Structure 1
Amino acid sequence: MQNTAPHVIGTKQGQAVALRISGTKAAFYNCSFFGNQDTLYDHKGLHYFNNCFIQGSVDFIFGSGRSFYENCHLNSIAKKVASLTAQKRSNSSLASGFSFKDSTITGSGLIYLGRAWGDYSRVIFSYTFMDKIILPQGWNDWGDQRRDSRVYYGEYKCTGPGANLTGRVAWARVLTDEEARPFIGTYYVEGDTWLISP
């Protein structure tokens, strides 16, 4: 899926959404998503992505969905500082967040793993290879320090030069086995009740 809308001369390159998913219990296998800013609008609902390629520049996976990304390739085409995710969990009671497992992050630019679109934004990366494009800070509070104590940004057994935890913001979490467990299987999206093998 690709957003091929032509660039309007005289304007800045802005949103280029390739897919918006607002339904629940949706699964994507072996799919590719190409855009620029805001490639994949993971709006709301339970979602599962397996072996997918997702490419963009700024906040290219964003929304309020509760989604599990497994064996996915996340490719940045940013030309400057940008962010991979912008998750919008707005209060602590919402069962919302993005979890990435066994994935790969490559590309260009210098990017944050995520920035807090919502006050209680939640994103977890586990067993993921991170190339050198990841900024040492790792995460961004979108200019609102009140969010530092509310967001849930975690990393678990990731590898690669971008996974070096030296320089990470103080409010990022290095997860223990027990803390990571709820996020590293399809049960995170209640997959045992609806996922069907492809």
Structure 2
Amino acid sequence: MLGIQSLVLFLAAFSSLVLAWDISNENDRHGCQLYSRNPLEGCDRDRTLFVDAVGGNSEFTTVQSAVASLPNNTDTYIILVASGNYTEQVNVTRRGPTYLLGQTRHPRNQAYNTVNIIWSAIAVPGLDNAFTSTLTVAPNLNASLTGSGPTGFAVPDGTPFGCVDFRTYNLNFINDFAPYSDDPSLALSISYANGGFYYTGFYSYQDTIYVGKLGNAYFKNGEVAGETDFFYGFGTAWVEQTSIALRNCGGGITAWKGTNTTFPNKYGVYIVNSNVHAANTSIASVIKGKCALGRPWNSQMRSIFARTYLDASIRPTGFIDWDPARYDNSTMQAEYRNYGPGYNATGRAMAEFDVQLTEAQYVPYSTPARVFQTPDGRFGNTDWIDFDV
């Protein structure tokens, strides 16, 4: 009898583990995101907070108030955000896995997102870019600061690593300071943290996405819009199956600062299997043949566009140099099997600042596991990525 009881208890425990709510399980996640009379129906109720701008069934009316209520430990928490516009900055400093979900009936299509988190700020003289960001993921202020000069802000030794697994699904983050490139206006700032952004939109004009020091950011099935250097940083960004919308041409799409480390690193921005295009038909004729794939923020810039569609907005020579010149033998501005009207083989053959990679040359950068590193330089740092999206 005891043997049967033990077996029953074991099977019950095993079943609970197998059936546990999982953020990476599409059915579980979609069940939580769907509208229902009880907003947390389908969610992991023990670990999920609900945010609703109009109150209703929620004790939280802002995303930041929900984030601030979480304990600063390594436990996992989910925040479900009701449809609506939220005018606020969101700042995530905790280490434990933290997941933001937007309510939606179309969880596989970013174009139907119903949650917009909006801020309006610009980096005026004397103000670091970090203060402008709509969403910040970093353990503290020092870790998030951009700074200036070839190496940027010197983050103090001993600064702890922040969130080991931050994710967003079906939200839009917007910095709408001005409808043109003025000065840095960040929609996302992530440093000393791992972040995955799925079916998520980021919208600004200048410096939309900042991936700072020891930042790892993975983007998939979303949209990023900008005009000037709208992917920039020091860390590592992998951008896959993403709509990259050109609101105008200024600087380049990418601008990166490489960093000297005691170990080999592959810090840089990798845009793969994505779609680079004019944001709308009215701007398409204005920017035709004028937009650069990138320019070196410092000489150790690493930016690779691979198997990506380029529309006619892209200039024939692809990448450009900074002014004054920064491009040298340590700069990597490269392409691999791009296509579309913005890929001009004749122009690329004449380009001074654009390299076409062979398959063998591309292989070391061809998967997230080959570029994402731990803070001490170990490759294969991908446990935080949702590869099922």
TM-score class, shorter-chain normalisation, is 0.7 to 0.9
What is the aligned-residue identity percentage? 30
Distance 1:28 1:81, change over 3 A: closer
Q: Which residue of 1 aligns with 2:275?
A: 104
Q: What is the RMSD computed on CA atoms of the aligned residues?
A: 2.2
Q: CA deviation at 1:179?
A: 1.2
- From 167, 192, 206, the equivalent of 1:37 is 206
Distance 1:49 1:146, change over 3 A: closer
Question: Counterpart of 1:2 in 2: which secondary structure?
Answer: strand
Question: Counterpart of 1:170 in 2: which secondary structure?
Answer: coil
Which runs of 5 or more residues in structure 1 are unaligned?
none
Q: Does the CA-based 8 Å contact 1:50-1:72 persist in structure 2? A: yes
Q: Does the CA-based 8 Å contact 2:244-2:277 persist in structure 1? A: yes
Q: CA deviation at 1:192?
A: 3.8
Q: Does the CA-based 8 Å contact 1:149-1:171 persist in structure 2? A: no
Larger Rg: 2
Letter in 2 for 1:195: I
Q: CA deviation at 1:175?
A: 0.9
Which runs of 5 or more residues in structure 2 are unaligned?
1-172, 373-379
Q: Which residue of 2 aligns with 1:77?
A: 247
Structure-2 separation of matches of 1:160 and 1:6: 31
Q: CA deviation at 1:73?
A: 0.8
Q: CA deviation at 1:4?
A: 2.7
Q: Which residue of 1 aligns with 2:304?
A: 124
Letter in 2 for 1:174: Q
Letter in 1 for 2:361: E
Q: Which residue of 1 aligns with 2:330?
A: 150
Moved more, 12-21 or 127-136: 12-21
Question: Counterpart of 1:13 in 2: which secondary structure?
Answer: coil
Cα-to-partner distance string for 1:100-157 (whole Å, 9 max, x where unaligned): 1100000142211000001110000111000011111211220344523221111111
Distance 1:19 1:194, change over 3 A: closer
Q: How many residues align?
A: 194
Of Structure 1 and Structure 2, the greater strand share is in 1
Matched, 1:22 2:187: no
Structure-1 separation of matches of 2:309 and 2:185: 26
Q: CA deviation at 1:84?
A: 0.6
**TM-score, with normalisation over the residues of structure 1?**
0.88
Distance 1:119 1:94, change over 3 A: farther
Q: Which residue of 1 aligns with 2:256?
A: 87
Of Structure 1 and Structure 2, the greater helix share is in 2
Structure-2 separation of matches of 1:43 and 1:192: 18
Matched, 1:46 2:222: no
Distance 1:52 1:185, change over 3 A: same
Q: Does the CA-based 8 Å contact 1:122-1:153 persist in structure 2? A: yes
